[in-house]
């Protein structure tokens, strides 16, 4: 008959091995995430540079840091921003002037609008984006959604339920 201490040691060893395995997996995923974020930031830079080149002379373009932080390897020419700039929406203004997180919100609501599915709450947006629907994440989304409402990109016809404002296309590329 095995001793109680021996059984406890076996369970402890199994739990420690599981933790070590999960840590290794987490390290692998973190490395993969870092590589994916770097690739994404390179595309953000490319889009900004093309936008700058194609902008008519004298017309300013909105350059923002992605919400995840400054671009890796960015130079001092790009001033860090405390928060993303959200311009007031006007006819012909493409969603591509917004940071990636704001574009994701617009795209999600545009998809809902196109499918005639109605408004979304910030908790539903969090789940849709694959985020944990914890208060901190939901409130961060709510802050962004409220900012988009204040600037005319979104409408909040019912408290806490967001849709695209009249005339907003919702795609980052203006389509």
Query: Within a domain: residue 66?
Result: no
| Residue 172 and residue 114 share a domain | yes
Examine the fold and report which residue of 61, 95, 110 is the final residue of a domain before the chain moves on: 61
Provide the pLDDT for residue 86.
84
Q: Which residues pair with 69 in a beta bridge?
A: 66
Query: Within a domain: residue 79?
Result: no
Provide the pLDDT for residue 56.
66
| Residue 168 and residue 102 share a domain | yes
| Residue 171 and residue 118 share a domain | yes
Among 121, 81, 108, which Cα is nearest to 170's? Answer: 108
Contacts of 164 (CB under 8 A, 6+ apart): 106, 109, 110, 113, 153, 154, 155, 170
| Residue 108 and residue 24 share a domain | no
CB atoms within 10 A of CB 141: 25
Q: Given the structure tokens 């695209």, which residue do they identify?
A: 164
Query: Within a domain: residue 72?
Result: no
| Residue 165 and residue 100 share a domain | yes
Among 109, 84, 108, 110, which Cα is nearest to 97's? Answer: 84
Contacts of 107 (CB under 8 A, 6+ apart): 95, 170, 171, 172
| Residue 109 and residue 29 share a domain | no
For the chain, give the longest Cα–Cα distance.
85
Provide the pLDDT for residue 84.
58
| Residue 115 and residue 48 share a domain | no
Query: Within a domain: residue 81?
Result: no
Q: Given the structure tokens 């199994």, which residue do they identify?
A: 14
pTM above 0.75, yes or no: no
| Residue 27 and residue 103 share a domain | no
Contacts of 62 (CB under 8 A, 6+ apart): 85, 87, 97
CATH number, residue 113: 1.10.10.10
Q: Which domain holds residue 10?
A: 1-61
| Residue 166 and residue 91 share a domain | yes
Say how far residue 68 (Cα) sits from the centre of its chain. Answer: 8
Counting the structural domains of the chain, the total is 2
pLDDT, tens digit only, all 175 positions of the chain: 779 999 999 999 999 999 999 999 988 888 888 888 888 888 888 888 888 888 766 444 444 433 344 444 444 344 444 455 788 888 888 888 888 889 999 999 999 888 989 899 999 999 999 988 899 889 999 999 999 999 999 999 999 999 998 888 754 444 4
CB 77 within 8 A of CB 99: no
Q: DSSP string of 37-53? A: HHHHHHHHHHHHHHHHH
Examine the fold and report which residue of 61, 78, 106 is the final residue of a domain before the chain moves on: 61
Query: Within a domain: residue 77?
Result: no
Query: How far, CA to CA in Å, does 11 sit from each of 4, 17, 45, 77?
Result: 11, 10, 50, 56
């Amino acid at each position: 008959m095995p001793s109680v201490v021996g059984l406890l040691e076996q369970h402890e060893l199994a739990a420690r091995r599981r933790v070590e395995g999960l840590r290794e997996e987490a390290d692998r995923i973190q490395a993969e995430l870092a590589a994916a974020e770097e690739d994404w930031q390179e595309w953000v830079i490319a889009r900004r540079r093309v936008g700058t080149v194609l902008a008519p002379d004298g017309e300013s373009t909105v350059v923002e840091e992605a919400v995840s932080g400054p671009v890796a390897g960015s130079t001092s020419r790009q001033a860090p921003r405390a928060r993303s700039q959200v311009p007031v929406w006007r006819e012909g203004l493409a969603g591509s002037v917004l940071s990636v997180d704001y574009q994701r919100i617009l795209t999600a609501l545009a998809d809902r609008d196109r499918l005639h599915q109605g408004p979304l709450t910030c908790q539903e947006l969090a789940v849709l984006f694959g985020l944990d629907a914890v208060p901190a994440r939901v409130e961060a989304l709510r802050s962004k959604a409220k900012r988009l409402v204040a600037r005319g990109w979104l409408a909040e016809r019912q408290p806490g339920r967001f849709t695209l404002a009249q005339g907003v296309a919702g795609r980052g590329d203006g389509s």
